[in-house]
């Protein structure tokens, strides 16, 4: 089973933020999307990632877009800032998933779904803020962490989950006194996410830390969104729907507005 030593080892081996991502993000922050696109072109892997991600049906683009500068222009600064952070987190994803039935394409589908629906929620809340937009990118890292930390204990976990429906977050906390979101926040801080982004992750489940009302509300939206996306057949088949407990009481303040926020995409 997982130990505190395993957690320390995992965090220690996280690679630093690539320089090209830093430079591209700086250009986006300066609202120079043309320059950001030109910088991004220097990294073939990043270019392929961006092309594959926006080609997902959820984005609804009628024609395949190959040129990175055009991708940046179509999506705009906040969405590009968010997708660059998705790419950053994807660098941690395993080549071979061993706990969840995922592959590279399905993981990108998950990222695309979370990003698209999060953008609709922020539109509904009249929020335009790149730090709030990019906060959603830290959610999938909890899934990566589960797969990395628990793959050696899969058979034991299956017995536990069959007998008592114990979720991974609960089990990790019992073993190490750490929650999945705490690890996400550590990774986010290491990769220079803003405190605003990290506080929304704190609020994605009930938090003992006092947080402002907007942050708590965004955390409730995030909690509900995660379970909405994971309830789709594709992700149920990936065995993602039970990796963390859904708190129906926590999301009550936003539950009735969820369908309105997603509109035609609900």
Helices (H), the chain: 4-12, 19-29, 33-40, 44-54, 68-75, 77-90, 104-124, 130-135, 139-150, 154-164, 168-176, 180-190, 195-202, 213-230, 233-236, 252-255, 258-262
Per the domain annotation, does 61 fall within a domain?
yes
Looking at the fold, whether 12 and 61 belong to one and the same domain comes out as: no
Number of domains into which the chain is organized: 2
Residues 141-157, mean pLDDT to the nearest whole number: 79
How many angstroms separate the Cα of 183 from the Cα of each of 42, 190, 250?
31, 11, 21
pLDDT at 7 over 70: yes
3-state secondary structure of 103: coil
Would you state the structure tokens that stand for residue 158, as one six-digit string? Answer: 């299956």
Residue of 134, 117, 128, 126 whose CA lies nearest to 221: 117
Looking at the fold, whether 48 and 111 belong to one and the same domain comes out as: no
Question: Where does a domain end: 90, 109, 144?
Answer: 90
Looking at the fold, whether 235 and 120 belong to one and the same domain comes out as: yes
pLDDT at 257 over 80: yes
Residues 97-113, mean pLDDT to the nearest whole number: 90
Residue 100 near residue 147 (C-beta atoms within 8 A): yes
pLDDT at 159 over 60: no
How many angstroms separate the Cα of 127 from the Cα of each of 70, 108, 124, 133, 149?
24, 25, 8, 9, 35
What pLDDT sits at residue 154? Answer: 64
The interaxial angle of helices 180-190 and 195-202, nearest 10 deg, is 170
Q: At 155, is the pLDDT very low, low, confident or very high (cuts 50, 70, 90)?
A: low
Per the domain annotation, does 119 fall within a domain?
yes
Question: Per-residue pLDDT tens for 31-51?
Answer: 999 999 999 999 999 999 988
Residue of 38, 70, 16 whose CA lies nearest to 191: 16
Looking at the fold, whether 137 and 65 belong to one and the same domain comes out as: no
Residue of 87, 201, 101 whose CA lies nearest to 142: 201
What pLDDT sits at residue 157? Answer: 62
Question: Where does a domain end: 47, 63, 90?
Answer: 90
Per the domain annotation, does 95 fall within a domain?
no
Which structural domain, as residue segments, surrounds residue 50?
19-90
Mean of the per-residue pLDDT values for the chain? 88
What pLDDT sits at residue 136? Answer: 95
Percent with pLDDT over 90 in the chain = 50
Looking at the fold, whether 111 and 195 belong to one and the same domain comes out as: yes
Q: At 166, is the pLDDT very low, low, confident or very high (cuts 50, 70, 90)?
A: low
Per the domain annotation, does 256 fall within a domain?
yes
Residues 169-184, mean pLDDT to the nearest whole number: 87
Question: Per-residue pLDDT tens for 190-242?
Answer: 999 999 999 999 999 988 888 999 999 999 999 999 999 999 998 988 888 76
Per the domain annotation, does 51 fall within a domain?
yes
User: 257: which DSSP letter?
Assistant: T
Looking at the fold, whether 164 and 225 belong to one and the same domain comes out as: yes
Residues 71-85, mean pLDDT to the nearest whole number: 88
Which residue did the predictor score with more confidence, 134 or 173? Answer: 134
Looking at the fold, whether 24 and 156 belong to one and the same domain comes out as: no
Looking at the fold, whether 138 and 168 belong to one and the same domain comes out as: yes
Looking at the fold, whether 234 and 159 belong to one and the same domain comes out as: yes
Question: Where does a domain end: 62, 90, 118?
Answer: 90
Residues 70-81, mean pLDDT to the nearest whole number: 87
What pLDDT sits at residue 57? Answer: 79
Looking at the fold, whether 120 and 250 belong to one and the same domain comes out as: yes
Looking at the fold, whether 43 and 160 belong to one and the same domain comes out as: no
Per the domain annotation, does 206 fall within a domain?
yes
Looking at the fold, whether 27 and 8 belong to one and the same domain comes out as: no
């Amino acid at each position: 089973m997982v130990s505190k030593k395993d957690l320390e080892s995992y965090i220690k081996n996280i690679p630093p933020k690539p320089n090209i991502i830093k430079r591209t993000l700086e250009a986006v922050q300066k609202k120079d999307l043309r320059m950001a696109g030109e910088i991004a072109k220097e990294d073939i892997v990043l270019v392929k990632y961006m092309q594959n991600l926006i080609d997902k049906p959820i984005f609804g683009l009628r024609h395949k877009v190959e040129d990175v500068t055009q991708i940046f222009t179509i999506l705009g600064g906040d969405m590009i800032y968010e997708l660059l952070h998705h790419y950053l987190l994807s660098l941690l994803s395993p080549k071979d998933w061993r706990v969840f039935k995922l592959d590279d394409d399905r993981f990108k589908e998950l990222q695309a779904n979370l990003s698209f629906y999060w953008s609709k929620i922020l539109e509904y809340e009249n929020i335009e803020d790149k730090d709030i937009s990019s906060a959603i990118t830290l959610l999938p890292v909890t899934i990566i962490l589960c797969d990395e930390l628990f793959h050696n204990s899969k058979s034991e976990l299956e017995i536990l989950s069959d007998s008592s429906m114990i979720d991974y977050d609960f089990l990790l906390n019992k073993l190490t006194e750490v929650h999945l979101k705490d690890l996400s926040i550590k990774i986010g801080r290491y990769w220079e996410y803003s405190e605003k982004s990290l506080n929304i992750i704190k609020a994605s489940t009930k938090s003992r830390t006092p947080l402002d009302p907007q942050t708590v509300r965004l955390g409730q939206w995030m909690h509900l969104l995660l379970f909405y996306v994971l309830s789709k057949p594709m992700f149920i088949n990936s065995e993602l729907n039970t990796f963390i407990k859904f708190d129906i009481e926590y999301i009550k303040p936003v539950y009735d507005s969820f369908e309105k926020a997603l509109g035609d995409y609900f």
